[in-house]
């Protein structure tokens, strides 16, 4: 059967992608951030997953306010990097895994999660930047990708509890897939930041660190945190962190922290990266 071998929580700041694409990663501003990425890349290269399920949010690129699905699953065999107004990022085409994606769709719908289906989908920095952070600049991505877009743009977004439950349902779905596949799950977005209004530029390191502790050790407690707490403490875009709970739910019970990196600032964001593995007990949960 397929197995979830690990989870990655990762910021998807567009300026990080621009720094990579324009050869600026060793400039004084960016170097401390990028110096923290090699251990995560080494773990991923050694783990050699076959597929990555990437939980991210579209930034009004493939979607708009005309169509706002709470959860959208990409089932295509190819996903192109989106043009976000300055041309597509110069990264490889993403190859999907339609068989696994359709299996996920069937299993999740029968598990009472109502998903929208994307037979065609361009993916923006919300998905491609975490891949660049954890893989680097390959000629081809080393694994296939199943995109799972979550609405954290238009109120109301899904609750943390719903996201955690979705992750647990993804775990059940993956483990019922008959092919032997190694799967890694990404939860992307955040950490604390606000892009507009009087609090533009807000970063709350204390909140970010507390989120990581609780997400790892007591995910149900973190899932119970209401939207307003994210908005108040982590800024208007801090709500993106609920997507990390999908990843955490997919890992099951207890987890082992493999690596953590946190840096302030990356553009106007508290930039986080964490790698988790399910323990033996977690694998059975």
Buried/exposed 130-165: b ≥16 CB within 10 Å, e otherwise? bbbbbbeeeeebebbbbbbbbbbbeeebbbbbbbbb
> Does residue 243 register a pLDDT over 70?
yes
What pLDDT, on the 0 to 100 scale, is given for residue 153?
A: 93
Considering the entire predicted model, what is its pTM?
Answer: 0.96
Provide the Cα torsion 53, 172, 41, 51; round to 10°: -50
Encoded tokens for 195: 């892009």
* Residues classed as catalytic: 125, 193
**Structural domains in the chain?**
3-271 (3.40.830.10)
In percent, how much of the chain has pLDDT > 90?
Answer: 95
CA distances from residue 101 to 52, 75, 92, 112, 173 in whole angstroms, order as listed? 11, 5, 20, 16, 10
pLDDT in tens, 23-44: 999 999 999 999 999 999 999 9
| CA atoms of 114 and 162, how far apart (whole Å) | 12
| CA atoms of 183 and 48, how far apart (whole Å) | 9
Count of beta carbons in the 10 Å neighbourhood of residue 46: 7
Q: How many CA atoms lie within 13 A of 220 on its CB side?
A: 3
What pLDDT, on the 0 to 100 scale, is given for residue 284?
A: 44
Count of beta carbons in the 10 Å neighbourhood of residue 48: 11
What pLDDT, on the 0 to 100 scale, is given for residue 129?
A: 98
Q: Which of 162, 163, 189 is nearest to 14 (CA)?
A: 189
In percent, how much of the chain has pLDDT > 70?
Answer: 98
Residue 93 per-residue DSSP state: P
What pLDDT, on the 0 to 100 scale, is given for residue 157?
A: 96
> Does residue 105 register a pLDDT over 60?
yes
Count of beta carbons in the 10 Å neighbourhood of residue 253: 13
pLDDT in tens, 49-102: 999 999 999 999 999 889 999 999 999 999 999 999 989 999 999 999 999 999
User: 3-class DSSP state for residue 225?
Assistant: coil
Q: Which of 45, 38, 30 is nearest to 264 (CA)?
A: 30
Yes or no: say if 256 and 216 are a contact pair by the CB < 8 Å rule.
no
Residues 155-178, mean pLDDT to the nearest whole number: 97
> Does residue 280 register a pLDDT over 90?
no
């Amino acid at each position: 059967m397929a197995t979830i071998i690990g989870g990655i929580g990762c910021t998807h700041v567009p300026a990080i992608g621009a720094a990579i694409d324009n050869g600026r990663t060793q400039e004084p501003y960016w170097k401390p951030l990028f110096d923290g990425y090699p251990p995560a890349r080494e773990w991923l290269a050694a783990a050699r997953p076959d597929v990555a399920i990437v939980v991210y949010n579209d930034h009004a690129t493939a979607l708009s306010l005309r169509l706002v699905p709470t959860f959208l699953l990409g089932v295509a065999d190819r996903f192109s990097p989106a043009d976000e107004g300055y041309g597509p990022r110069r990264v490889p085409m993403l190859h999907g895994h339609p068989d696994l994606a359709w299996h996920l769709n069937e299993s999740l719908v029968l598990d009472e999660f109502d998903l929208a289906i994307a037979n065609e989908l361009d993916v923006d920095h919300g998905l491609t930047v975490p891949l660049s952070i954890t893989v680097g600049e390959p000629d081809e991505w080393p694994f296939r990708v199943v995109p799972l877009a979550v609405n954290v743009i238009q109120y109301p977004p899904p609750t943390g509890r719903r996201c955690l439950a979705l992750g647990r349902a993804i775990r059940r779905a993956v483990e019922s897939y008959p092919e032997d596949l190694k799967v890694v799950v990404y939860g992307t977005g955040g950490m604390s930041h606000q892009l507009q209004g009087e609090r533009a530029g807000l970063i709350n390191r204390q909140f970010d660190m507390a989120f990581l502790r609780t997400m790892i050790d007591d995910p149900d407690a973190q899932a119970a945190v209401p939207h307003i707490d994210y908005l108040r403490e982590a800024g208007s875009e801090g709500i993106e962190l609920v997507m990390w709970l999908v990843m955490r739910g997919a890992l099951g019970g207890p987890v082992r922290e493999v690596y953590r990196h946190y840096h302030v600032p990356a553009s106007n964001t508290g930039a986080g990266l964490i790698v988790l593995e399910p323990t033996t007990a977690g694998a059975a949960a």
